[in-house]
Amino acid sequence: MSLTFVLEIRISISRFLNEYCMLRKTIIEIITALLIVLFVYASISKWLDFKEFTRDMHNQPFPGWMATSLIWVLPPVEILIALALMFDKTRAIGLWAALVLMSLFTIYAVAILVGIFNRIPCGCGGIIRGLTWGQHLFFNLFFLIISAVGIVINKKDQHSNMIAVRLAADAIQ
């Protein structure tokens, strides 16, 4: 094989990987944007109607001390997750935190639907309040799944970028 042919193959592979990385980057940007909107909206809606949020939390089927703790912890955690998702260096942490929080919310929705608690509490605040617990479960599952997909793509994207940089460097030499 001629050196020119090998160089053309390397350049073609590099271009393909670059386009593939761009697609993955677009997907990860969409996923993180959806999660950021979710967590910022959820946090702000809690703060804007803090009395209602406090009342709703104390209406949940867990101890009062837990409700009080969640009232003060949950909104800032949601903002911190949104902030972590905004930056490349902290995006993986933000995606993992989103996955954990959405897992907890999903487990809670399942527990309500299967009747673990002796009563069905009211739902979340904001526009999500209008959802049934079944709809809430699917809503949570959607965000849980995109969080998991985001983790996988983000990890593979970092690996693909390293390969593309190596191929480009090899092509130049």
- pLDDT band per the 50, 70, 90 thresholds, residue 118: confident
- pLDDT band per the 50, 70, 90 thresholds, residue 19: confident
Inter-residue contact 72 to 22 (CB < 8 Å): no
Please, what is the Cα angle at 154 between 35 and 76, to 5 degrees?
Answer: 35
Structure tokens at 140: 């949570």
Cβ contacts of 39 within 8 Å, gap of 6 or more? 78, 79, 81, 82, 85, 98
d(CA 12, CA 9): 5
pTM of the complete model = 0.81
d(CA 65, CA 33): 33
pLDDT of residue 132: 86
Report whether pLDDT(51) > 90: yes
d(CA 33, CA 47): 21
- pLDDT band per the 50, 70, 90 thresholds, residue 155: confident
Torsion angle in degrees (nearest 10) through CA of 114, 117, 122, 124: -70
Stretch 79-86: mean pLDDT: 98
Report whether pLDDT(123) > 70: no
pLDDT of residue 14: 79
